[in-house]
Structure 1
Amino acid sequence: MEKLICFLLIAFITSASADSLLLKGAVVHTVTQGILEPGDVLIRDGKIAAVAAKLDEKADRVMDLKGLHLFPGLVSASTDLGLVEIAGVRASVDDRETGEFTPEVESWLAVNPDSEMIPVARANGITHFAPVPQGKFITGTSSLLALHGWTIEDMLVKRRSGMHLSWPDQTLTIPPPDAPPTAKSLEDQARERREKVRSVEQFFADAEAWSKRDPKSPKVPAWEAMQPVLNGDMPLMIHAQEAREIRSALKWAESRPKVRVVIVGGRDAWQFAAELAEQKVAVIYSEVFSLPSRATDSYDVQFAAPGLLHKAGVKVAISEGLDRASASGQRNLPYIAAQAMAFGLPADATLAAITLVPAQLHGAGDRVGSIEVGKDASLFVATGDILDIRSEVKYLWISGVEQSLESRHTRLAEKYRSRPKAR
């Protein structure tokens, strides 16, 4: 009897994994090969098996998507989704560790797979996200996860996708004439910020020195974690907003050519577009809807920044960022990108900025981010262009598995739609 049960179970799993799905007649936004209108996509064993204007392949299931649009799943490049549930409830916030240098921290271990924010983000086309650890200087590594799975192990796509460094604040505050004697002078402030940068430099120097140790010496998790960054196998994602921070970070990066730097946040990155392009430094831009920081800035300076960076040759991803309601606001990711498109970022680059580019920056560009043969079948169907706020997501798959689009928003809508009517 046990043998029979095992045989039936194996047969069921085999048949389930062998299921194929043919999506026909959609407007297919491939990201890498333009738009097929109409186009067909064949999914087999959780992977994209074929993409063409017309496919005559046999499939277990066929869906007619005439008049609908098919997109690769959106990728959130920098977020606290899964790490923060209710910002005002400390027990539901797990987005940082204490200490100035904690490279051994891995963000995926703190993700809550039952977060109510995950279905909300998924319902608007987001299939993957990179939770970012926060803290003082070296804050740890982000990971790339899928918005599907019973456990964090089920969700994990790439365990260590980038090391995060919050660049020391470089601002100076001029003391007012009536400042108390204890107020810090400009010289004291400048000295403190130089010391902070030197502490970062010293940490990297110590990590390099440790790499030359006797192989038989005991392992130190912090130094072990830094080695992929030093040899260029993992990007160093430097969080920097203000112009002086970005200038300082770029100058430091010049002395470490092996380190692959990505600027995260990048409010004033547009001022260094040429330097960023020359040094091949990508930007995860999160400030599209930030207010201009200077009275001399035009009203649209942040709207236009991604377009200026792209025009200069900088690889640009767009994110919601970490300073606002990042976890709950992930559903707005396509509309943030759409604002950048309205102010100069080309349409194809805009879609890539929330799909393929973030996947590439997090080391998973060969698996997700575009509709190509061999990639994971993480796709969604919408009634129109996803950059248009009027479009509605109708179906979504992650690795070939169709996902429910129910969320607390749909449940509340149904609840109040069914409320007792006034007599």
Structure 2
Amino acid sequence: MKHLYIYILFIALLVSSSSFAQQTPGSKQTKAIAIVGATAHIGNGQIIENSVLVFENGKITSVNSGSANTSGMTVIDAKGKHVYPGFIAANSALGLVEVDAVRASDDQNEIGAMIPHVRSLIAYNTESKVVESMRPNGVLMAQVSPKGGRISGTSSIVQLDAWNWEDASIKTDDGIHLNWPSSFSRGRWWLGEPAGLKPNKEYANQINEVTTFITDSKAYLKGNKKPKHLPFEAMQGLYNGSQKLFVHVDDEKGIADAIYFAKNNNIEHLVIVGGAEAYKVTDLLKQQNVPVLINTPHTLPANDDQDYDMPFKLAKILHDAGIVVGIQVGNAENFQTRNLPFFAGTCAAYGIVKEEALKLITSNTAKILGIDSFAGTLEAGKDATLFISEGDALDMRTNILTQAFIQGREISLESHQTELWRRYSEKYKNQ
């Protein structure tokens, strides 16, 4: 009798927990699929009306206008709809934080100041309800980045429909993240100091600490590597060019100093993350070929002397200066990542041509993250990570997804939010 009770309890727990489980990842593509009649937004600035997009074995095989032989294929009639490449959320905490107020569900910060060996990927939770809620808006890939410390750790890029972090990864350990020291600090009012900004007296020392770490790691890597030093070993990718250095910095002086720092230390691939005052150093960014992942535009100006609409028009200023620019979501609340397409839409409303704004979250971001060989655009040979929308995907009123695919697998667009919506729609339908 006791064993029967335990068995019944186990089944009850299993059934109750299944209602909270992640949507089962889509099955591998087994048959060629053709999406016909849609307006195809390629992601590189081009549009193809009345398109025929074919993908097989998870890869796009052709994108053309007009008619095509689709015999033997599964045909999706998308006349009057729009097809887009999957959007890419750069510098996100997706899968690392579930509930901000619950410390046990927050894995984005680790203890320590110089911890490049800490890998965000192994903490990525594929069953996160937050991750699940990204897909209905077309966000299908993300760079999962660590936070905190001076050198926060190593990020990776994932697709948002997987059984575990190994399945999710599409580029492992793509870059190391450095939080650049601020050249200004605010007065500590609780100690009677003026509350305004003042020069950071520790700025030079803080940069020297990073420089010393770089120098020591290079010496270690050139030596006999004994005793084993994991933080130093994790820096190897920056020096051989296989990884990028993502420097999180907003102020003009910090951006310039970070660029010269990377150059002086022979770090080949540098990305500025944030860049609120990047418009002041466009010539330097262009000259050194440094891309920028800007903050989300739905924010206040960084300083009192900035134009009130600077966050909205920064993308256009950098774009017009010939700088590769994308949007990152690191400063937004985790759940706000779902609004990524609408951030791009805001940039379009403030001067960038709509298809150029689309590049901020597709091809430009793919290029900055180093995944443009297989993601970011609807082109033959690239992953079939894409979606069909009833309207303009950068407009929250019309971005209504009907189908989405990741590497050719049709994925579920259900989420905890859609389940609640249906539940309460039924509750009040007859009242």
Per the TM superposition, whether the score is higher than 0.5 is yes
Given that residues 381 and 394 in structure 1 are in contact (C-alpha distance below 8 angstroms), is that contact kept between their aligned partners in structure 2? yes
Q: Residue by residue, what CA displacement relative to the aligned partner does 1:340-370 show, whole Å, maximum 9, x if unpaired? A: 1111223222111101222222221111111
Q: Partners in 1 of 2:91 and 2:44 — Cα distance? A: 22
Question: What are the within-5 Å matches in structure 2 for residues 19-98 of structure 1?
Answer: 19-32=31-44, 34-53=46-65, 54-98=67-111
**Shift of residue 173, structure 1, vs aligned partner:** 4.3
Picking from 405, 408, 411, the partner of 1:403 is 411
Given that residues 133 and 141 in structure 1 are in contact (C-alpha distance below 8 angstroms), is that contact kept between their aligned partners in structure 2? yes
| Equivalent residue, structure 2, for 1:125 | 138
Given that residues 376 and 399 in structure 1 are in contact (C-alpha distance below 8 angstroms), is that contact kept between their aligned partners in structure 2? yes
Q: Partners in 1 of 2:214 and 2:72 — Cα distance? A: 54
Name structure 1 gaps, 5 residues minimum: 1-14
> 2:322 aligned with 1:313, yes or no?
yes
Q: Partners in 1 of 2:360 and 2:337 — Cα distance? A: 15
Q: Partners in 2 of 1:368 and 1:172 — Cα distance? A: 40
**Shift of residue 408, structure 1, vs aligned partner:** 1.3
Given that residues 29 and 408 in structure 2 are in contact (C-alpha distance below 8 angstroms), is that contact kept between their aligned partners in structure 1? no
> 2:264 aligned with 1:255, yes or no?
yes
Question: Kindly tell me: are residues 265 and 23 of structure 1, through their superposed partners in 2, closer, same or farther at Cα, counting changes over 3 Å?
Answer: same
User: What root-mean-square deviation, in Å, do the aligned CA atoms of Structure 1 and Structure 2 show?
Assistant: 2.3
Name structure 2 gaps, 5 residues minimum: 1-26
Stretch of structure 1 that moved more, 55-64 or 109-118: 55-64
**Shift of residue 175, structure 1, vs aligned partner:** 8.0
| Equivalent residue, structure 2, for 1:300 | 309
| Equivalent residue, structure 2, for 1:267 | 276
> 2:127 aligned with 1:108, yes or no?
no
The one-letter code of the counterpart of 2:426 is: S
**Shift of residue 220, structure 1, vs aligned partner:** 2.7
Given that residues 22 and 59 in structure 1 are in contact (C-alpha distance below 8 angstroms), is that contact kept between their aligned partners in structure 2? no
Question: Kindly tell me: are residues 399 and 287 of structure 1, through their superposed partners in 2, closer, same or farther at Cα, counting changes over 3 Å?
Answer: closer
Given that residues 368 and 375 in structure 1 are in contact (C-alpha distance below 8 angstroms), is that contact kept between their aligned partners in structure 2? yes
The one-letter code of the counterpart of 1:351 is: L
Picking from 372, 380, 385, the partner of 2:387 is 380
Question: Kindly tell me: are residues 233 and 422 of structure 1, through their superposed partners in 2, closer, same or farther at Cα, counting changes over 3 Å?
Answer: closer
| Equivalent residue, structure 2, for 1:9 | none
Q: Partners in 2 of 1:383 and 1:316 — Cα distance? A: 27
**Shift of residue 151, structure 1, vs aligned partner:** 1.0
**Shift of residue 296, structure 1, vs aligned partner:** 2.6
> 2:286 aligned with 1:277, yes or no?
yes
**Shift of residue 189, structure 1, vs aligned partner:** 6.4
Q: Partners in 1 of 2:29 and 2:370 — Cα distance? A: 26
Given that residues 267 and 285 in structure 1 are in contact (C-alpha distance below 8 angstroms), is that contact kept between their aligned partners in structure 2? yes
Q: Partners in 2 of 1:72 and 1:17 — Cα distance? A: 17
Question: Kindly tell me: are residues 103 and 179 of structure 1, through their superposed partners in 2, closer, same or farther at Cα, counting changes over 3 Å?
Answer: closer
**Shift of residue 262, structure 1, vs aligned partner:** 0.3
| Equivalent residue, structure 1, for 2:23 | none
Given that residues 308 and 344 in structure 1 are in contact (C-alpha distance below 8 angstroms), is that contact kept between their aligned partners in structure 2? no
Q: TM-score, structure 2 length as denominator?
A: 0.88
The one-letter code of the counterpart of 1:419 is: K
The one-letter code of the counterpart of 1:318 is: I
Given that residues 207 and 223 in structure 1 are in contact (C-alpha distance below 8 angstroms), is that contact kept between their aligned partners in structure 2? yes
Given that residues 307 and 346 in structure 1 are in contact (C-alpha distance below 8 angstroms), is that contact kept between their aligned partners in structure 2? no
Q: Residue by residue, what CA displacement relative to the aligned partner does 1:72-94 show, whole Å, maximum 9, x if unpaired? A: 00000111111111101111111
| Equivalent residue, structure 2, for 1:205 | 215
Report how many aligned residue pairs link the two structures.
401
Q: TM-score, structure 1 length as denominator?
A: 0.89
| Equivalent residue, structure 2, for 1:415 | 423
SS in 1 for 2:133: helix
The one-letter code of the counterpart of 2:367 is: Q
